[in-house]
Every structure is written in structure tokens, then in C-alpha cells.
Amino acid sequence: MRVLRLLTAGESHGPALTGILEGLPAGLPFGSAQLAVQAARRRAGYGRGNRMKIEDDAVEILGGLRAGRTTGGPLALQIRNKDFKNWEAIMAAEGPAGPRKRAVLVPRPGHADLVGALKYGHADMRDVLERASARETAMRVALATAARSLLSELGVRVVSRVVSVGGAEDEAGMKAAVDAAKAAGDTVGGIFEVTALGLPPGLGSYAQWDRRIEGDLAKAVMSLNAVKGVEVGMGFAGAALRGSEVHDALYWNAKRTKVVRKTNRSGGVDGGITTGEALIVRGALKPIATLMNPLPSVNLAARRPAAAHIERSDTCAVPAAAVIAESLVCLELADHMLLKYGGDSLKELKRHYAA
């Protein structure tokens, strides 16, 4: 069961990205200034490619907002792709039939190119990569900015950090890993961490398998392009330890009015329900599949070996992934807040939450 419903559309080099977020309460403060901050954060990061120098990800608000506050109707947003002017003849929605310019006939190992072509029957894999591109996440970040505003109104703050890049955990080592990969025509991945502070206990449920909040968080973060692993709290590290080293002991506070934890190894979730402690989610981002020194692949049309297709891309996207994952976590937490407390307006939601 979901309260918030999100849809995006558009291609990486198409005219625009569009998105709709339905289910927001009326009266939520929201606007261009907030959108610009999150868009800039997503574009930043050491190892990002030249595309980020072209796009400013300016968001046009098409519906669901009036005088800086949500109306209760669907929020509709649009981001124009500035690079479309260089691709208009290639990406035209109603272009002429016949041989296509910039057709992609050689898939990149590790990308959606090949499996997408097999699934949808595309001979030109540009029809796959244009939608499978992480460019789509610019819209998800924009829509999630409204969810972030909702959480902020309820005293919840969501932040993120880069844990490692290419195995290095210090800034100098991370940058060196990116530089070395770029010089070799290669890419590097890493680990990011998202933390939510100020959450109440009681979000999620153990009553049914699909009500557990870790499941929703894991799906959201795993839906981010190139993420191959998600953990909450100690995650995989806890599998090698004993129970006494993994679980959070419980104590009374000084007045014996509240049960407290001195550790947060569970990452803020027990039994599919938030504990009230900081929620900690980590994701593992594999190296991006587009290599300037490409791996061996196959030409599907000519049925011969070939070097993998090269498309403009990043050397490292871990910092951007951290911001995007932060946004995806905001969407899930906002949805759980609305599901538990309800309210068609922000005023009503706050009243329910306070009660």
C-alpha cells in the first residue's frame, strides 16, 4: 500500500524529463529555490562527466503548486534537456523512417543495452540506453525534494556521505582512485551512506512481508542505476559476528520513563519497524558500464566481435549516487509518514503527528 505515487518519463537526450508525484498533502511549502539546491548537489562530485557542464537541471513547475504551497493535486515537473539541441535530428519523436543516425549496435557489458534489446526487440540499442540512463534520476531528485520538504516539516532530516571510492576511504585516496581510473579509460565505484535523523518509532510493520520498512528502503535504493548491494545498520558485517556483538542492548533512562539504546547497530530498524534511532542505509555502486577503454563485446547486426559502445559518461558517480539515494530514501520515509499518520493537508498531518 502506498500513499505517494511517482512516475517519470523522457530520454537522456530527448527534449525533456517529466514527472508526476501524487499524494502530497495540501499546504506543503515548496518551490524553485529548494529544487535548485538539490539539482546542484546531484550534478556535483569528483569524477563527473562533461554532461554536467551542459545541463543546469532547471525545473519548471507545471501543476500542483500555487503561491509556493502544494494544492493537494498531483505535482507535475519538467526539466528541459539543454543538450537536446545537438540531438534533435537523432531523437526526434516523429523523425523520418530509414537508417538512424548514431545507432548503437554494440552493447556495453554490464549495461542494460543487451538485455533491453532482447526484451523489447530493439535493433538499435539507443532506444534502450536513452531511457535506462541515470539522467532520469534528475527528475526523481526533483520530485523527492517535495518529500524532503514534508519530512522537514515533521522534524526529520536526511543526509548522506561517501564512505569509499575504489576501496579508498580518505579524500585523497578517493580522488587518486578516480584519477587513475580516468587515465586508464576505466571507471570506479564505491559505497555511500544515507542517514535519517528525527524519525519516530513505529514506521513500517512486521504484520506482512511487504509492510517491512527495510524492504521498501532496499527496493528504493536498489532501483538506483548501478547499485548492486544495500544494507541497513551493520548489514553484511553483522553476518560474521555473534548475536551479542550485533544486537542493541536495551536500558531504562534515568527516570525509568523510556527505553533507550546505547548503540545503534540495527541502523534504526528492528522487526521491519523504525526504532526512533538514526536510520542508516548504505548502498554499493558498481563502476559505471561505459568505459573509454572498452571491454570486448559483439556487434549484433554484423554478428562479429567488436569493442563495446562508448557513450559520454562519468568516471565515478558515487557522490551523485549518495545524493540521489538520499532523495529516494526521502520518498520512502515520506510515504510511510503519510501512511501511518494521514492527512489531506499539512496542517492535518501535523495535528495527527503531534497527537
The answer on pLDDT for 124 being more than 90 is yes
pLDDT of residue 49: 81
Strand partners, 279: 196
52 pLDDT band, cuts 50/70/90, is: confident
Strand partners, 60: 78
Could you report the per-residue pLDDT of 5-17, keeping only the tens digit for each? 999 999 999 999 9
What is the extent of the structural domain holding 182? 5-233+268-354
Contact of 174 with 46, CB cutoff 8 Å:
yes
Contact of 303 with 175, CB cutoff 8 Å:
no
Residue 5 cell numbers, joined: 505515487
Predicted TM-score of the model (pTM): 0.95
In a domain, 260, yes or no: no
214 pLDDT band, cuts 50/70/90, is: very high
In a domain, 253, yes or no: no
For residue 151, what is the domain's CATH number?
3.60.150.10
Number of domains the chain is built from: 1
Contact of 93 with 130, CB cutoff 8 Å:
no
173 pLDDT band, cuts 50/70/90, is: very high
Helix axes 318-341, 346-354, angle to 10 degrees: 80
Contact of 38 with 158, CB cutoff 8 Å:
no
Distance of CA 207 to the CA centre of its chain: 27
In a domain, 27, yes or no: yes
In a domain, 43, yes or no: yes
In a domain, 346, yes or no: yes
Helix axes 137-153, 32-43, angle to 10 degrees: 130
Candidates 348, 285, 313; CA nearest to 13 is 313
In a domain, 249, yes or no: no
Phi-psi category of 66—alpha, beta or left, where left has phi over 0 and alpha has psi -120 to 50? beta
Candidates 223, 254, 221; CA nearest to 235 is 221
Could you report the per-residue pLDDT of 224-266, keeping only the tens digit for each? 999 999 999 999 999 999 999 999 999 999 999 999 999 999 9
In a domain, 261, yes or no: no
Mean pLDDT score, 36-62: 90
